[in-house]
Amino acid sequence: MNYTKQIQDIASKLFTEGKIDIFIGYQQNSFDDNQVPVLITDPAEIPKLVFSDKSVFNLTNYLKFEHTKNKRVGLVVKGCDSRSLNLLLTEKQVKRENLYVIGVCCEGVTDDNGAKAKNCEVCVMPDPVVYDEILGNPSGKKPYRVDPDVAEVAKMPLVERADYFEEIFQNCIRCNACRHSCPLCYCSKCCIDQETSTLYNGSNTVSSAVHALLTWSMHLAGRCVDCRNCEKACPSHLPLHLLHKQNEKVIFENFQEHLSGMIADDRGAFYKYNQKDPDDFIM
């Protein structure tokens, strides 16, 4: 999967035609073979742009910041990224007319060790669901599969499972990089943010981490698109997908097979309220 040339050409055309102020793409890291996001305002910098199976980050996260708000932005999205874009549009966080979206039919990205990323193994939608221009050949929606790590954890006896999660929470340093790197966490005053929190008073204890991360995962329930930006940002390398994928499973099974951001203007699982819901589970 290499779309470097096509993306450079499209970005160049967009600047030349005066259609964008900023282009958000990927550039090569300066110290290893990984890539990092790049925001380009000067067309002279277009040769920096690359796209390959190392283009892992979800660039829609940069649409929530002041320097891109109300600007005309060109950006690249893979399938999972485009689902978060769909949600940002539905939640009125971005204006569609301000965006030029290059959608890539994704063949999967790789992790730091060169192996296929774990979220790609269970990806339900590698094709972009919102775009102005599409690169590659769509391969279509895939059947939903329970995340193998979630299935493994479910097999643990309760005490062992509790210990396992306690160890995860113990290693959280409350840096909030997870929530800052999530495109769907855009609240200007976040209830788990240490500086502004009225709920968790900034303490760095296991119990504050439990409250913060569980609250956070609940705010993403029915919205998380499994891009794993949050996990990539976590300095403690915590398996945060266990929280989100468990929520996704419960929601898929109980809310009419809901999957986040697949459909434009879909307002999410909690709008799928049914008066006949037996209410026989607790997330």
Stretch that binds ligand SF4, among 67-75, 89-97, 230-238, 265-273 (CB under 6 A): 230-238
Q: Give Dmax over CA atoms of the chain in angstroms.
A: 61
Q: Is 184 in the site for ligand SF4 (CB under 6 A)?
A: yes
78, with CB counted inside 10 A (0-12, 13-18, 19+), is buried
Q: Which is nearer to ligand SF4, 38 or 175 (CB)?
A: 175
Enumerate the β-bridge partners of residue 73: 22, 99
Q: Report d(CA 224, CA 261) in Å as an integer.
A: 8
From candidates 115, 162, 173, 263, binder to ligand SF4 by CB under 6 A = 173
Q: How far is the CB of 30 from ligand SF4 (least distance, A)?
A: 23
Q: Is 238 in the site for ligand SF4 (CB under 6 A)?
A: yes
**Could you tell me which of 152, 147, 153 has the C-alpha nearest to residue 122?**
147
Q: How far is the CB of 195 from ligand SF4 (least distance, A)?
A: 12
**Could you tell me which of 10, 47, 22 has the C-alpha nearest to residue 99?**
22
Q: Is 87 in the site for ligand SF4 (CB under 6 A)?
A: no
Q: Is 229 in the site for ligand SF4 (CB under 6 A)?
A: yes
Supply 151's token pair. 């299935």
Q: H/E element holding 150?
A: helix 148-155
From candidates 20, 76, 85, 120, binder to ligand SF4 by CB under 6 A = 120
From candidates 20, 221, 224, 259, binder to ligand SF4 by CB under 6 A = 224
Q: Is 78 in the site for ligand SF4 (CB under 6 A)?
A: yes
Q: How far is the CB of 45 from ligand SF4 (least distance, A)?
A: 25
Q: Report d(CA 223, CA 117) in Å as an integer.
A: 20
Q: Is 80 in the site for ligand SF4 (CB under 6 A)?
A: yes
Give the x/- contact pattern for ligand SF4 in 36-65, rule: CB under 6 A. Answer: ------------------------------
Q: Report d(CA 97, CA 117) in Å as an integer.
A: 32
